[in-house]
Amino acid sequence: MVLEREGFSGVTKLLEEKFPSEENPFSVRTGDFGEVVGHIVLRDIFGLTIPVFKLRFKTNWERAAFGIDIIAFRLHDEDHQRDAVVFAEVKTSKDKSYGVKKVFEEIESLVAEGQSEVKNKMRNAIRFVSERLFEQGQYELEQRIYRFLDCYANPHYVEAFVPLLVRDKQTWDEDALEGITLNKLNPNQVLLCIFLLGNLEEAIQAAYELAATVEALSG
């Protein structure tokens, strides 16, 4: 590791102890990195609001976070009735095909029939965001978000379902999308995003080294 070679042993210790380990190409660290990229894409490119960053509430850094990957909102301050929610699932890999079919299956599972109110994924995602906002004292925003609790029964509340792929530009090929079909969702409801990085492995390593460096300096 570059940081260890340069004498930053404390930083490498943080990487080893606090952040997910990188033991295989489809590790938790890779997945978490992809979720961060997904947040940036939805916030900075599509102009959505993401009031709660779910990864901050992970209790086990060696496992993937629970529930829907990203819950974002299109908020209209001039007319709250136009507010809408966006649900995104993210799959990150250097392998062009890994997780492609799975991410579409996960998106479609959100509208699967027969879900009980307790186990409804969209409802639980909205409740999670609402509860975190309430804990933070953001009561007005919490009320705006809480009304989406019934988005499963009110499809017009949902602006889009987003399957988001983070891939390595050197290995990506659009033929990985061949054979993908939608059985439960209208294609007009689905926004496929593919974010390509020049070297995915180096980007992940650099991101975690930077995060550990910042934490070490702030501590």
pLDDT at 193 over 70: yes
Q: Where are the alpha helices (DSSP H) in 94-181?
A: 100-109, 121-135, 139-146
Q: What is the pLDDT of residue 128?
A: 93
pLDDT band at residue 70 using 50, 70 and 90 as cut-offs: very high
Average pLDDT for residues 67-77, to the nearest whole number? 93
- Residue 215 has a pLDDT of 57
d(CA 8, CA 218): 15
pTM of the model: 0.83
- Which is more confidently placed, 75 or 59? 75
pLDDT band for 58, please (50, 70, 90 cuts): confident
DSSP secondary structure code for residue 65 in this structure: P
Minimum mean pLDDT among 36-50, 57-71, 115-129, 154-168: which range?
57-71
Higher-confidence position of 63 and 58: 58
Q: How confident is the model over 124-145, as pLDDT tens digits?
A: 899 999 999 999 999 999 999 9
Q: Where are the domains of the chain?
A: 24-217
pLDDT at 9: 44
Indicate the pLDDT class of residue 26, thresholds 50, 70 and 90. low
Q: Provide the mean pLDDT of the chain.
A: 82
Tokens of 204: 């992940």
Which own/partner contact pairs does 49-53 have at CB distance under 8 Å and 24+ positions apart? 49/73, 49/74, 49/75, 51/129, 51/132, 51/133, 51/138, 51/141, 51/145, 52/128, 52/129, 52/132, 52/133
| Tens digit of each residue's pLDDT (9 = 90 or more) over 196-218 | 998 888 888 888 777 666 555 55
Binned at pLDDT 50, 70 and 90, residue 10 comes out as very low
Residue percentage of the chain with pLDDT more than 70: 79
